[in-house]
């Protein structure tokens, strides 16, 4: 059955949970004929805005998070490996995805950078020379790609995508919207599938603290 619904997907290259969400959301969309719309969300900008430093969390929490990611990888048979260089600057990859949208290669580019960083431990994708082989494999001239990704138009587009997400209530990645409802995290897939399948209705709105 085709739902015809849209899934707005706010993603970030440096987000471990976005890596898993990329693999988990697509089968849901395919089962229900839904369309995924990708929105890059600059977490580095958001973290700085809120004075949040990722790696200053308690060591025990970080260690447990890394172990839990290994469980997710095993559970879903994914070749995830925590990179030796983390975190990295991701704004160029986010702009790169918007640049690739103009060539109709946005999703393929997103897949390529996530594969390189989260499966191949390739932190060089943070900059244009590191992205160049991936861009070439997609049939685009790396110099032209960099020129477009560094343009004022694309810079403004990334800022707008991030600000629009903040205005909608996005605070982290991955975040999804279906019918205006926000779902955060890689472990909300059952709820998202219910929403896409049309199984979420008044019971959710009636349970809202604002109702």
Question: Which whole number is the average pLDDT over 199-208?
Answer: 54
What single string gives the DSSP state of each residue in the chain?
-----EEEEEE-TT-HHHHHHHHHHHHHHHHHT-EEEEEE--HHHHHHHTT--GGGS-HHHHHHHHHHHHHHHHHHT------SS-S---HHHHHHHHHHHTTT-HHHHHHHHHHHHHTT--GGGGSHHHHHHHHHHTT--HHHHHHHHTSHHHHHHHHHHHHHHHHHT--SSSEEEETTEEEESTT-HHHHHHHHTT---HHHHHT-TT-
| Confidence band, pLDDT 50/70/90 cuts, at residue 211 | very low
Question: Which whole number is the average pLDDT over 184-192?
Answer: 96
Q: Mind listing the pLDDT tens digit for each residue in 3-38? A: 689 999 999 999 999 999 999 999 999 999 999 999
pLDDT reading at 49 higher than 90: no
What pLDDT, on the 0 to 100 scale, is given for residue 48?
A: 65
What pLDDT, on the 0 to 100 scale, is given for residue 52?
A: 53
Q: What is the mean pLDDT of the chain?
A: 91
| Confidence band, pLDDT 50/70/90 cuts, at residue 202 | very low
| Confidence band, pLDDT 50/70/90 cuts, at residue 204 | very low
| Confidence band, pLDDT 50/70/90 cuts, at residue 210 | very low
pTM value is 0.90
- Assign domain 6-206 to its CATH architecture: 3-Layer(aba) Sandwich (3.40)
| Confidence band, pLDDT 50/70/90 cuts, at residue 153 | very high
Beta strand 6-11 pairing with 181-184:
unpaired
Question: Which whole number is the average pLDDT over 146-168?
Answer: 97
Strand partners, 35: 6
The encoded tokens of residue 65 equal 């998070």
Domain coordinates of the chain in residue numbers? Answer: 6-206
Q: Mind listing the pLDDT tens digit for each residue in 111-152? A: 999 999 999 999 999 999 999 999 999 999 999 999 999 999
Residues above pLDDT 90, as percent of the chain = 81
Question: Which whole number is the average pLDDT over 54-76?
Answer: 86
Contacting residues for 86 by C-beta, under 8 A, at least 6 apart: 14, 55, 123
The encoded tokens of residue 190 equal 């059952």
């Amino acid at each position: 059955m085709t739902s015809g619904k849209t899934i707005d997907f706010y993603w970030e290259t440096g987000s471990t949970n976005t890596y898993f969400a990329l693999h988990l959301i697509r089968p849901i969309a395919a089962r229900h004929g839904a369309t995924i719309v990708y929105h890059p969300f600059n977490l580095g900008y958001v973290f700085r805005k809120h004075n949040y430093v990722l790696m200053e969390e308690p060591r025990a929490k970080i260690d447990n998070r890394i172990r839990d990611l290994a469980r997710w990888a095993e559970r879903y048979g994914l070749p995830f490996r925590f990179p030796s260089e983390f975190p990295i600057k991701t704004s160029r990859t986010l702009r790169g995805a918007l640049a690739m949208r103009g060539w109709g290669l946005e999703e393929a580019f997103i897949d390529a950078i996530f594969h390189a960083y989260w499966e191949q431990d390739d932190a060089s994708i943070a900059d244009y020379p590191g992205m160049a082989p991936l861009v070439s494999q997609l049939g685009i001239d790396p110099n032209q790609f960099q020129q477009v990704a560094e343009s004022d138009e694309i810079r403004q587009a990334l800022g707008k995508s991030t600000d629009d997400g903040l205005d909608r209530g996005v605070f982290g990645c991955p975040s999804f919207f279906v019918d205006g409802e926000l779902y955060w995290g890689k472990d909300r897939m059952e709820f998202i599938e219910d929403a896409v399948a049309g199984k979420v209705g008044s019971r959710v709105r009636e349970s809202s603290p604002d109702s």
